[in-house]
Amino acid sequence: MKEGVSIQEIENFTKKYRFQLFFSLAFILSCLFSYIFFGTGWSVFMGALGGIVGVVFPGMVDKVMGSAFRFIGKQEKITQMVLAIIGLVLAVFVPFFYFILLGGMGGIAIAHHYSKAFAESGNNNQQPPTV
């Protein structure tokens, strides 16, 4: 029977799932520090604001988010690590930034699924939002 997890297994896991781990940690930190420093009201308000912007302007928000992720993806590993540390510091001191991000991405998803359902329904009386 195997005891524990080896360092190599942890390194392989973090290399494979680094973005998921970063955002999970950032969301946990932003939730915790938002509750401690600002209260939950600002987080809900900023999440709703991001959702509204994402639903009303899905193409623009998608373009901005895509540009940001492409910029990060083109950087060297060290620069990506520095940007990740800056992102975690933002999660601690400006936690509602992540709630705006979550709301915006949720708004894009809602607009996308609405457009998809609208196209499948064959309803020609109104125009779907553009994603």
CA 113 to chain centre: 18
Give yes or no for a contact between 96 and 44, defined as CB atoms under 8 angstroms apart: no
pLDDT in tens, 17-35: 888 888 899 999 999 999 8
pLDDT in tens, 41-80: 888 999 999 999 999 999 999 999 999 989 998 999 899 8
- Per-residue model confidence (pLDDT) at position 89: 93
Give yes or no for a contact between 33 and 92, defined as CB atoms under 8 angstroms apart: yes
Query: 82 to each of 13, 72, 76, 101, 124, how far by Cα in Å?
Result: 20, 11, 10, 20, 49
Query: Domain spans of the chain?
Result: 9-119
